[in-house]
Amino acid sequence: MKHLLSTADLSRIEAIELLDTAEEMSLVSTREVKKLPVLRGLTVVNLFFEDSTRTRISFEAAAKRLSADVITFSAKGSSVSKGESLQDTAQTLSAMGADGVVIRHSGSGAPHRLATSGWIDAPVVNAGDGTHEHPTQALLDAFTLRRVLAGLPASGPADGARGLALDGAVVGIVGDILHSRVARSNVHLLTTLGARVVLIAPPTLLPIGADTWQCDIAYDLDAAIAEHSFDVVMMLRVQQERMQQAFFPTAREYARRWGLTDTRARALPAHCAIMHPGPMNRGFEIGAAAADSPRAVVLDQVANGVSVRMSVLYRLLTGQSAAAGGREGQS
């Protein structure tokens, strides 16, 4: 694996190895010194052309815990605002000796272009590109879900999840599928790991061709809850900043028909976990009671993001994939 651009590129074995290595990386948080020396002397560049808080900080923390030097580039206030192209920016970073590049861009396909252009000779990690994909978010969602299914703590050090896939799990993904890179990455990864995915959204918020994806599609959230025994329901943020037209009548109407209200949360199976990639719009796509429920693992997803991104950077920058490599790094 040279780059991580899409979860569709991951085989079942590769995905499980990344999750298993993330389990090893989670043990770093229990150490007095929360660092491993495995990337000492290497430089990771976080190239963010789009605003981000959770993803940017998570990648910074992951690289620093692996002892890498970190350079965070923000398009705002840089030469990009003066018209510098992606090519020129990439070649500048290459000249500075970047060993790995994490890129977040509003243009779908930008990470793939960077990885295949020859502008930079370093592993590229897609941290979210337009409405295309967000592979590390899907990996941390899968990491969290398999712990929940195994009856383990959703975050922090835990034994027992290594080697597990998600065979038989039923996952509902609800909301703005059309503009969600998280939904696309999760459909690819979760089905690769054996889960059954049900997309639930108004017809206007489903992309053209979604009926060809390896998932089921429903338009009525109440009917879907009644029909399926969900192991997890993942609510998606309505990305109004990407909407140039009306996709639903009003925010109140959307919340009434597709929001995870308190009543709907109570109707979910007792074992069903509640996820959200964040940031949450409380009272819109998710109610306050559901967001703060003991079944909500939203903050666990954030915590697990560091371990998963450590695993990805370790795999790409060292070429090692087995969880044993993580154990060696801690010795």
Q: How far apart, in whole angstroms, are the C-alpha atoms of residue 177 and residue 220?
A: 14
Q: Any binding-site annotation on 242? A: no
Q: Any binding-site annotation on 181? A: yes
Q: Any binding-site annotation on 54? A: yes
Q: Which residues of 269-300 are buried (b: 16+ CB within 10 A; e: fewer)?
A: eeebbbbbbbebbeebbbbeebbebebbbbeb
Q: Any binding-site annotation on 179? A: no
Q: Any binding-site annotation on 315? A: no
Q: Any binding-site annotation on 279? A: yes
In a 10 Å sphere around its CB, with 0-12 CB exposed, 13-18 middle and 19+ buried, how is residue 106 labelled? middle
Q: Any binding-site annotation on 252? A: no
Measure CA of the first residue to CA of the last residue in the chain; give whole Å.
25
Q: What six digits make up the tokens of 312?
A: 């990805």
Q: Any binding-site annotation on 134? A: yes
| Contact by Cβ (8 Å): 135, 189 | yes
Sheet of 43-48, strands arranged across: 69-74, 43-48, 100-105, 124-129
**Looking at this protein, which amino acid is placed at residue 161?**
A
**Looking at this protein, which amino acid is placed at residue 103?**
I
The residue length of the chain stands at 331
State the binding site: 54-55, 82, 104, 134, 137, 181, 237, 278-279
State the binding site for L-aspartate: 82, 181, 237
State the binding site for carbamoyl phosphate: 54-55, 104, 134, 137, 278-279
